[in-house]
Amino acid sequence: VLMFYTFIIFSNILASPVYDHISAKYEQTCCRHAREGQAPSSSRGMFTIVKEELKKAVLMLVIPLSLLFIPVIGAFLGFVVAAVFIAWDYVDFSLSRDYPLLKDRIRALWRYKFFLVGFGCPLLIPLLGLMILPFAILSGTKLYFDKMKGGTSGSGIPID
């Protein structure tokens, strides 16, 4: 289990520049709330990004591993957490551009946890997940702009 989560985290770290580029291009072409391309302007900005991503990686290791010690309900909660975490991976590219701090992203994700479970569940189905994985980054970006950022009221994510 530890090797699986470690593999997932490191593969996402390696693929994240490509996913981020795809997400940014999709924002520019398809999302009505898209922003101009933003990049960290200094080494301090890059340091903040790396620091926040390391916190996220630790969180994504600690929570599922701690659920292994909860009998019976731990397995169910593990499935729900896995669905949320896999959805978070694909929504986070757009979300982190607006909310670079992990605590703010967690507040936003908690508010939309049911959307994330619904988005992440199909990605956990073995063969179906592999077939739809190439579209996950596009769908995550679209979910962020349609439901989380803009929503039906256009009010955005209240993180207060």
Q: Pick 103 or 8 by higher pLDDT.
A: 103
Q: What is the pLDDT of residues 88-111, one digit of tens each?
A: 989 998 898 888 889 999 999 999
Q: What is the pLDDT of residues 32-74, one digit of tens each?
A: 655 654 554 445 566 777 788 888 888 988 998 899 899 989 9
CA–CA dist 25, 37 (Å, integer): 9
CA–CA dist 78, 95 (Å, integer): 23
Tell me what the pLDDT averaged over the chain comes to: 81
CA–CA dist 130, 142 (Å, integer): 19
pLDDT (0 to 100) of residue 156:
55
Judge whether residue 141 has pLDDT over 70. yes
pLDDT (0 to 100) of residue 34:
53
Contact 27, 141 (CB under 8 A): yes
Lowest-confidence range among 2-6, 20-24, 68-72, 88-92?
Answer: 2-6
Q: Pick 134 or 110 by higher pLDDT.
A: 110
Q: Pick 32 or 120 by higher pLDDT.
A: 120
pLDDT (0 to 100) of residue 52:
82
The encoded tokens of residue 106 equal: 């967690």
pLDDT (0 to 100) of residue 60:
87
What letter would DSSP give residue 148?
Answer: I
